[in-house]
Structure 1
């Protein structure tokens, strides 16, 4: 190894460090990353550590968790439960026809197998691994749950007294699901001694490790002197002219320095040199591939066929020790390829392997289409027991329509969807449609592909697939679904979209050829919504769900009345879930009675078995009924998986729901971070509706925090976009923001005008969902502007409409409003007591603090200062804790009037680490992430990760606010 003293030193320190950590080596192809990984593995082995190696495989980059299975496979047999079945822990205990271990058997090396006497993993970790590796037809665990299970497995392995080093080569080819888990694990190794993760990725290929926020070490080209030394060591026979040409063309790349001379010397020198010079300006990996292609062209057809099968099956360039998790094609009689330097023989296994990933690429590119199809047919048979792997090869091997192949691809797509592979599922469904033998099957599979593409946020592709499903018409159910998603989420078009969906539903309802027309399922089986592609009326269900979503955003009585008429006309075809959504999303005051218990039952009935979009719809019902909190842990677990696998629409809705629950519970800093994340995603994806919905929620947050200017700016942007389009769901939020912001600023007349823009005093406008939610705002604004009679009428209307029975939040604010407007002190005290002792009162701290403030003001005026101190103190502390300075100032003023001296605020602690503080200071000075990285010897991505963690600690959201935030910190800079 020449010229790598710095890298050797860093890797030696990394391997021998006692603390857990992760490191990413980044460099161009051929720069020597694999050699450095070999060095680290050897050093770890010499140190007595357990080394587990894996290699990302381009052919498997679309298979969810394929890379993770490869990486964890050697650890799983020893980590089973003591009471589990004995299984087969010996890899050779089953063999295939060739005498090799039968690695197709799904019961081999599963996590329920164990070493006698081993404590094993806990039940949660075992369930996560079993869901991913043992039961491919089950729902996959979210990134966080699986990541925690992996951490438990690694910690358990290291706790056996032997430190562990995980080595991952070609990380850029790792499938997304595996890369996300590796990133999650790598960021959390710091507190787990004995476990380290080392990853190598190409600098010129995008991967999930680009945003994993893991420490990085660049691996660059060799310096000129080192490049010359390496070339002279390996090719001392080169003439001066050829030697200079190689040094110039290689540019310090070690692989090029080793391979280019053989190309020049192996044939006619002048012609080879001209060929090489002709590639000047072509990226170096391409030039090396040309060298390999020239060697391949000299091989016989039989050898090239063997190489092609190995390349397409993802035979690792440098396989690790031990058996592979999945059987690979074994290349036979390839000595000729070994002799010319295309393959190497691994000493540990005696098996041939590709010398470098660029060799594999060259093999595939040089093959003809017929040769590739023939190879895929062989590999499809090899992987006949693995539906997803078989699907990859079947899709590439088949030309003419063949129903059996199409059915296999469809089954693989369903499995991929459940396992977080929506993008791959769309490709397989599309290919299955192409191979369908009948028009009906083709249309059905294209329609399914369109739906999955729509859920995965590929709206343009969803539309093209829908049109292909029913050529010649824009009104097929699939086309209406795709177009309506596009119109709603991108443009916020609710009026025309509603009419079009209604027409499509009615056509499908009345069609004699509708699937399942004479085989209806029981709609009273309300909570069994697992993915069943053969379920009757599935397309109708999807249209109805979208119709309800459009109606919710339209937010007016005429639209909802038409929607309810359509639901009623469907009879038993309208599922229990459809009625739940239609009742709770529309007007809880008129239709929400009795649904809270059913929603809670649905939330406890196996969310993991439901499609993510079904869970989000259920969670929206829970929000309208103020019982969202029990669903939030699940949403937080799966939101990253949805966003990372491309299900952007479901992911953004999940973020909105998490934000709303954080807002209700008073977790406002977290809510702000969630909101800005959702806004960035929605803006990036061109979701106009979601972007403005997020701005509306951020405006609500700014209003309760007393940031009046920010709230009004966001309110104006939302109103200007939503009002012309008739998106009353958002215009109502805009009016509510105006009322709350004005109340916080003490502008009660403006608050009253905004509140009556939602509903008139003494009534609750039908289908105006903010009418009940702004009850307290209207009552307070009316009282402060001398409209006591209207305030009293509105509070009584809330009581008479039964708001306390609909949701815990509505019960709290209804009793608060009745207390504020009570005609005598006794009734007021009773309602204040009922509000403050409500079992769910503490779940809504902002509303509770407002009620306590009003209670304290009333007591002070009627019974004197001493009696008012407790509720006023409770209100002031709550507002301080929440970060609502305008409301806190009002409460502290009342406390002073009650004779309580103000307390000096305690100095804010310094929450930043030394490195976060230094990065923030440099950023405040105007340096870019790249400039900060150069100064601190960090990658720009790592700098960005430090800033991402520092912003919420400082209570800011923009780079421009850094200087003022740092100035407010009075503590001395801590020692690193």
Structure 2
């Protein structure tokens, strides 16, 4: 190498450093990144380190975890690796991951080399099990575990990744997660090369970088003279000018000038002046390719389209790849190199691979894709990629394969890719009906993936000429109107009309259709897609009715369900019963929800989300939450974005119920940032409503009321009763925290009148305790008692564990004699699920302690009061805690100590917060600090809970309160 002394020294220090670390080499194509990676790999091998290499493949950039699989493949266990004595035959770990005697890293005989959680994470991510792919953190921890084990065998490990810009998003996220945590893990290093002119996930990975610049003039001249001393002065000057210090150009341009007539080659080169350098080099490769025979070019094309490695020596392939044969001619002209050990040919440089594809005709590419589709027949998603590119004329078999691959991708978090495959499947459909059905499916998945504009265009394409408005168009437009604008009234009417039209057409299958064959029943073309579209329209109608939150909308929806007869599925009735009015229709659904939750991995993400919403209304969401937390990152990255945001809402609500309020606040800010960024007005204000609830229970009254006012002002004119009810509930809880019981009562009766539960007001049962407490403290004991009895008579204790807890609490607070009160307090506090709702339980214990102190004396009251005070302290509810401690002092117990102050902000978090407080947007902050808007959002996401706030409006005051500035790094 010439002119790379600084880079050589840095790589040498990097490779030989004892501590784990990561480094990203960034530079333009041809600047020498791959050569520097070769140097690092050689230095590591000479130092006795194990080297694992991988190359990003553009053709696989849409396949989740494909790049990670390639990188980790030499370390992953397979069943074939075991010999009869249960030891790896080739030095790699076995699938059982156990040794018969003392392992090389000192573990006892028979001990698992990797944990079951690590193995499960890899099996799920790489499709070796039926579970969903794990989130970034889970998989990243599993990778760290695997790397630590590999390095613990005695040889340090160097991971080398070339062309990192082509790595799929899921793999790049995990590599970034791992790279940021290698410090302090001796023996493992990660070296990545990416192109400076191609965006990639490594741009925001926050890993150390080393820019690889063009060579200085003197070094460029020296390199050219070493390799092409025969050049004349004029040509030499021309090459130096055109190469601009790019080493690959310095090596390749002279060959172009000397292989043909001098004047012609010079004119070609000058004619490319102003064209980006990589394209100029590709033109040179194209000239060499044009001189190859047809058979050799066909072999190179198959290898290029299959993502063959740009360089040799990358270890065993994780999946079957096309092996180029009889390509000596390409090796001789410098397009390929041969690995001396395996004898396999590989492309000399990624630009060679690009040139091969660009030079091929469409027919040649399609022919190559057909061969590769047959090669990958055991890998449905890879096969789908090649089938989609190989077929021109409609072919139902290929369309069906693409549709199946799209469904598989959707359930693995690849909804965005599924849209492309479904669209291509529609193009290859042999009948107009199948084409419309697949376009409608693509439109639906696009809407779930938050490509609402594309969903609309696909829906319009799905409609038959001159036909009524298609169901797909209704779905696409309704999602857009609901998510963006919160339009529930007109959307509800429009969906009802579409459902009834579809029902009528489904009930009259005697119409002829031009595409059904002679042996096909006239109604088969209608049955194939109608039921699924009908289910989706009904599910959306139920969602719109839930957000409308009024009696008229729900009654009309239930009429529609009843009118569907057998066409209404059990799921539809489950959602219609639990989402509408759990008091009147929720009985008996808990067990069915639990049964339906058994096979979540086999359900589409939107079906999982709807089921989880039912679980929330029945207060049995916690068992589903681990699954939601595992898949939410996947859906937000490449899957169903709207389902991912709703999953975040559900996780937040469960965290709020379980008293995990710090985590809930972080989840809420994440959901708010995503909803705001995507322009989802409904989801953004729904998140604000939940954050307002959180602020209210934590005693941050001003913040709660600010958020409440924003939600109410947006939702009330639109008739989004779901959110106006939450706003009223926030007002009641905040007023109770402040001791303003009259205001709390007024907010509570805005939801439902005392002694009754207003139909289809889902907050009516959830604010039972608020109304009772507010009524008792304002001298309305009769109304409080009537409300508690109404809860008992409505059977609330049988509907959900939370309703059982608060109903017995309300009955105890309003009991007419001490015996009845004691019995209900005992039933409330001994309920098996009571600890799952710590805030409500603490309120009941506080009321119990107050009653005992007044009736039986201080000694009897100390236990429930102490339990309540500790719970409020642990939760972070200072207003409620102060009330409990005041009662404790009255009972003769010493005051408590205050918890420690929160951690300070980092320098970067504080700087981002200061700019945000000054009114700058995330994009403007990113431009000033050279960060991406997503990174800015992440800093604010971490800073808000540290400052004890939930809105940007509160930043300035919160920053003013900070007294200890953190020094800049």
Shorter-normalised TM range: 0.7 to 0.9
Q: CA deviation at 1:123?
A: 4.8
Q: Distance in 2 between matches of 1:524 and 1:180?
A: 50
The farther-off stretch of 316-325 and 803-812 is: 316-325
Q: CA deviation at 1:699?
A: 1.4
Q: CA deviation at 1:562?
A: 2.0
Q: Which residue of 2 aligns with 1:254?
A: 247
CA distances 1:741-761 after superposition (whole Å, capped 9, x unpaired)? 222233322222221111111
Alignment of 1:874-893 (within 5 A): 874-893=867-886
Shift in alpha-carbon separation, 1:754–1:271, aligned structure 2, 3 A: farther
The farther-off stretch of 782-791 and 270-279 is: 270-279
The farther-off stretch of 354-363 and 281-290 is: 281-290
Q: Distance in 2 between matches of 1:439 and 1:663?
A: 50
Shift in alpha-carbon separation, 1:172–1:479, aligned structure 2, 3 A: same
Q: CA deviation at 1:639?
A: 0.4
1:550 aligns with 2:544: yes
Contact 2:312/2:338 (<8 A) preserved:
no
Contact 1:860/1:867 (<8 A) preserved:
yes
Q: CA deviation at 1:954?
A: 5.3
Q: CA deviation at 1:621?
A: 1.0
Q: Distance in 2 between matches of 1:713 and 1:524?
A: 59
Q: CA deviation at 1:932?
A: 12
Q: CA deviation at 1:641?
A: 0.8
Q: CA deviation at 1:790?
A: 1.9
Q: SS in structure 2 opposite 1:953?
A: helix
Q: SS in structure 2 opposite 1:907?
A: coil
CA distances 1:535-554 after superposition (whole Å, capped 9, x unpaired)? 8x323222222222111111
Shift in alpha-carbon separation, 1:130–1:882, aligned structure 2, 3 A: closer
Q: Distance in 2 between matches of 1:715 and 1:75?
A: 53
The farther-off stretch of 362-371 and 755-764 is: 362-371
Contact 2:103/2:109 (<8 A) preserved:
no
CA distances 1:908-949 after superposition (whole Å, capped 9, x unpaired)? 375778998999999999999999999999999989877765
Q: Distance in 1 between matches of 2:745 and 2:522?
A: 44
The farther-off stretch of 242-251 and 764-773 is: 242-251
CA distances 1:689-739 after superposition (whole Å, capped 9, x unpaired)? 111111111111122222222222222222222222221111111111122
Contact 2:131/2:601 (<8 A) preserved:
no
Contact 2:673/2:937 (<8 A) preserved:
no
Q: CA deviation at 1:605?
A: 1.4
The farther-off stretch of 749-758 and 221-230 is: 221-230
Q: Distance in 2 between matches of 1:124 and 1:403?
A: 42
Q: SS in structure 2 opposite 1:138?
A: coil
Q: SS in structure 2 opposite 1:604?
A: helix
Q: Which of 260, 271, 278 lines up with 2:264 in the alignment?
A: 271
CA distances 1:435-472 after superposition (whole Å, capped 9, x unpaired)? 12122222222222222222222222222222225443
Q: Distance in 1 between matches of 2:102 and 2:345?
A: 25
Q: CA deviation at 1:766?
A: 0.3
Contact 2:666/2:941 (<8 A) preserved:
no
The farther-off stretch of 755-764 and 961-970 is: 961-970
Contact 2:99/2:112 (<8 A) preserved:
no
Q: Distance in 2 between matches of 1:395 and 1:177?
A: 23
State TM-score, norm by structure 1.
0.86
Q: Distance in 2 between matches of 1:297 and 1:695?
A: 62
Contact 2:74/2:92 (<8 A) preserved:
no
State TM-score, norm by structure 2.
0.87
Shift in alpha-carbon separation, 1:673–1:972, aligned structure 2, 3 A: closer
The farther-off stretch of 4-13 and 790-799 is: 4-13
Shift in alpha-carbon separation, 1:399–1:744, aligned structure 2, 3 A: same
Q: Distance in 2 between matches of 1:140 and 1:622?
A: 23
Shift in alpha-carbon separation, 1:295–1:959, aligned structure 2, 3 A: farther
Shift in alpha-carbon separation, 1:543–1:818, aligned structure 2, 3 A: same
Q: CA deviation at 1:235?
A: 3.8
Q: Distance in 1 between matches of 2:933 and 2:754?
A: 56
Q: Distance in 2 between matches of 1:950 and 1:167?
A: 34
CA distances 1:136-156 after superposition (whole Å, capped 9, x unpaired)? 887545555544544444344
Q: CA deviation at 1:395?
A: 1.7
The farther-off stretch of 190-199 and 576-585 is: 190-199
Q: Distance in 1 between matches of 2:330 and 2:484?
A: 54
Q: CA deviation at 1:590?
A: 0.5
Shift in alpha-carbon separation, 1:117–1:831, aligned structure 2, 3 A: closer
Shift in alpha-carbon separation, 1:191–1:419, aligned structure 2, 3 A: farther
CA distances 1:750-792 after superposition (whole Å, capped 9, x unpaired)? 2222211111111110000001111122222222333222222
Q: Distance in 1 between matches of 2:640 and 2:404?
A: 20
Q: Distance in 2 between matches of 1:568 and 1:561?
A: 11
Q: CA deviation at 1:520?
A: 24
Q: CA deviation at 1:806?
A: 1.5
The farther-off stretch of 914-923 and 302-311 is: 914-923
Q: CA deviation at 1:863?
A: 4.2
Alignment of 1:110-121 (within 5 A): 121=114
Q: CA deviation at 1:586?
A: 0.8
Q: CA deviation at 1:61?
A: 1.7
CA distances 1:5-61 after superposition (whole Å, capped 9, x unpaired)? 443333334333444443333332222221222122112222222222111111122
The farther-off stretch of 561-570 and 767-776 is: 561-570
Q: Distance in 1 between matches of 2:106 and 2:364?
A: 41
Q: Distance in 2 between matches of 1:175 and 1:635?
A: 22
Q: Which residue of 2 aligns with 1:494?
A: 488
The farther-off stretch of 719-728 and 324-333 is: 324-333
Q: SS in structure 1 opposite 2:507?
A: coil
Q: Distance in 1 between matches of 2:549 and 2:835?
A: 30
Contact 2:463/2:469 (<8 A) preserved:
no
Q: Which of 423, 437, 454 lines up with 1:430 in the alignment?
A: 423
Q: Which residue of 1 aligns with 2:707?
A: 714
Q: SS in structure 2 opposite 1:606?
A: helix
CA distances 1:276-306 after superposition (whole Å, capped 9, x unpaired)? 5555554333333333334444545444333
CA distances 1:215-250 after superposition (whole Å, capped 9, x unpaired)? 433333344444444344434455555555544444
Q: CA deviation at 1:612?
A: 1.8
Q: Distance in 1 between matches of 2:101 and 2:546?
A: 50
CA distances 1:785-821 after superposition (whole Å, capped 9, x unpaired)? 3322222222222222222222222222222222332
The farther-off stretch of 23-32 and 289-298 is: 289-298
Q: Distance in 1 between matches of 2:105 and 2:66?
A: 19
Q: Which residue of 1 aligns with 2:32?
A: 32
The farther-off stretch of 218-227 and 652-661 is: 218-227
CA distances 1:98-121 after superposition (whole Å, capped 9, x unpaired)? 999999999999999999999565
Q: SS in structure 1 opposite 2:772?
A: helix
Q: CA deviation at 1:900?
A: 4.1
| Gaps in structure 1 of 5+ consecutive residues | 92-96, 528-533
Shift in alpha-carbon separation, 1:281–1:516, aligned structure 2, 3 A: farther
Shift in alpha-carbon separation, 1:118–1:4, aligned structure 2, 3 A: farther
Q: Distance in 1 between matches of 2:858 and 2:521?
A: 60
Q: Distance in 1 between matches of 2:353 and 2:283?
A: 12
Q: CA deviation at 1:433?
A: 1.5
Contact 1:88/1:113 (<8 A) preserved:
no
Contact 2:86/2:100 (<8 A) preserved:
no
1:90 aligns with 2:87: yes
Shift in alpha-carbon separation, 1:226–1:852, aligned structure 2, 3 A: farther
Q: Distance in 2 between matches of 1:770 and 1:925?
A: 37
Shift in alpha-carbon separation, 1:289–1:85, aligned structure 2, 3 A: closer
Shift in alpha-carbon separation, 1:902–1:127, aligned structure 2, 3 A: closer
Q: CA deviation at 1:126?
A: 4.4
CA distances 1:477-512 after superposition (whole Å, capped 9, x unpaired)? 333322222222222222222223223333333435
Q: Distance in 2 between matches of 1:366 and 1:712?
A: 64
Aligned-residue Cα RMSD (Å) equals 5.6
Contact 2:296/2:327 (<8 A) preserved:
yes
Q: Distance in 1 between matches of 2:960 and 2:889?
A: 30
Contact 2:312/2:345 (<8 A) preserved:
no
Q: SS in structure 2 opposite 1:480?
A: helix
Q: Distance in 1 between matches of 2:875 and 2:316?
A: 56
Q: Distance in 2 between matches of 1:439 and 1:609?
A: 30
Q: SS in structure 1 opposite 2:26?
A: strand
Shift in alpha-carbon separation, 1:361–1:837, aligned structure 2, 3 A: same
Q: Which residue of 2 aligns with 1:521?
A: 519
Shift in alpha-carbon separation, 1:338–1:513, aligned structure 2, 3 A: farther
CA distances 1:170-206 after superposition (whole Å, capped 9, x unpaired)? 1221223333343444444446543333222222222
Shift in alpha-carbon separation, 1:422–1:559, aligned structure 2, 3 A: same
